Amino acid sequence: MERARPTEASRHAEFEALYERHSREVWALVYARWLNADVAQDIMQEAFLRLWKQWETGEAIHNPRGWLLRVARNLAEDHAKSSFRRNGTHPPQLMNGLRGQSPLPSERLEREETFGQLRDVLGQLSEADREILTLRYALDYNANQIAEVLATTATAVHMRLSRARQRLAERLAAQGVVEFP
Amino acid sequence: MKPLQPASFDQGPGGDAPDGLDRLLARFFRATMPDPWPVWKAPSRDPLPVGRVSSRRLLSRSRTALAASLLLLLGGLILLGGRFTAPTLPVSRDAIGDTADKPDPRTGGPHRPAPKPGAEKSHTSEGGLSSSRRP
């Protein structure tokens, strides 16, 4: 990033644009690691905070997206070692991060049950499978966009996504989830 | 409600006909993502003035505590030093255990300290000396 003495306001605006462009990707990759929306949000914000500190020192970061994704992956790994993780404090599995448009209680219960089962099955998949599924369905990315984030080819993304979906479908069927609310 | 079927990539959210799994995944992730999305707020460079005041207060408190504890330590040293100095007043004979003129509670006679082996020898030598005084 080459910056020619930007003003304070323009620097803020530039950084906000960067945040708007990449924060969801960062969140998605961390979510794919931990399947925890709160942890993903915390780590995403920490990654951007670190980038901001670098930004303030005037140090040039030529690929902020790559930098952010790398830092977020490292932070997600470090999270495994933290005391919070060791203590095993998790938010309630079925209720975590669920926000709807006030469906009926029975419908909500059914949906939350299915989401809970889906979360369990996602947890059984590999991290690579979860990454590709999260980028595809959380961010609605196409094969080229996913390939860019994961530093691979669109053909590989097609193949990997298809296999990940296949594995997910088989495991859901094995758990008795054959219909969706 | 649609039976679960494995589907290809093209049947996903951007494809023509999303199947049940696609819909489920899309709904699941939509429900999981933060809504509204958190806004970036740059951290302020300067710490809050409240923080400054409190840190100053903390510093002055710790200095006061340090000064008070040093004073206490010095005071204690002075007091204890005064108590344990060597006595300058003359000590009575009882205090040093001299009971020569007191009667012996066992015999009723004057108290004689038990003779030491070295002391007997000196008597003998005295005798020797006295005999040597003989002409």
pLDDT in tens, A50-93: 999 888 887 778 899 999 999 999 999 888 777 455 554 444 33
Q: Which of A37, A119, A177 sits opposite B34 (nearest CB)?
A: A37
Quote the mean pLDDT of chain A: 83
Mutate to test the interface with B, among A165, A172, A179 (most CBs of B within 10 A): A165
Q: Which residue has the higher pLDDT, B30 or B122?
A: B30
Structure tokens belonging to residue A145: 């966009």
Q: Which of A41, A137, A143 sits opposite B25 (nearest CB)?
A: A137
CA–CA gap between residue A138 and residue B28 (Å, rounded): 8
Separation in Å, CA of A76 to nearest CA in chain B: 17
* pLDDT tens profile A102-135: 556 777 777 788 888 899 999 999 999 999 999 9
Is pLDDT of B21 > 70? yes
ipTM of the complex: 0.78
CA–CA gap between residue A178 and residue B93 (Å, rounded): 110
Residue of A nearest to B24 (CA): A180
Residue A108 is predicted with a pLDDT of 74
Structure tokens belonging to residue A69: 């994704």
**pTM as predicted:** 0.59
Number of neighbouring beta carbons within 10 Å of residue A140: 14
Q: Which residue has the higher pLDDT, B10 or A79?
A: A79
Q: A19: which chain B residues are within 8 Å (Cβ-Cβ)? A: 40
Give the amino acid at A103.
Answer: P
Is pLDDT of B47 > 50? yes
Q: B33: which chain A residues are within 8 Å (Cβ-Cβ)? A: 24, 27, 37, 97, 138
Across the interface, whether the CB atoms of B4 and A169 are under 8 A apart is answered yes
The closest alpha carbon to A165, from B44, B114, B63, B8, belongs to B8
Q: A177: which chain B residues are within 8 Å (Cβ-Cβ)? A: 4
Residue B90 is predicted with a pLDDT of 59
Q: What is the DSSP letter of B46?
A: S
Residue A6 is predicted with a pLDDT of 64
CA–CA gap between residue A18 and residue B18 (Å, rounded): 31
Average pLDDT over residues B65-91: 81
Separation in Å, CA of B48 to nearest CA in chain A: 18
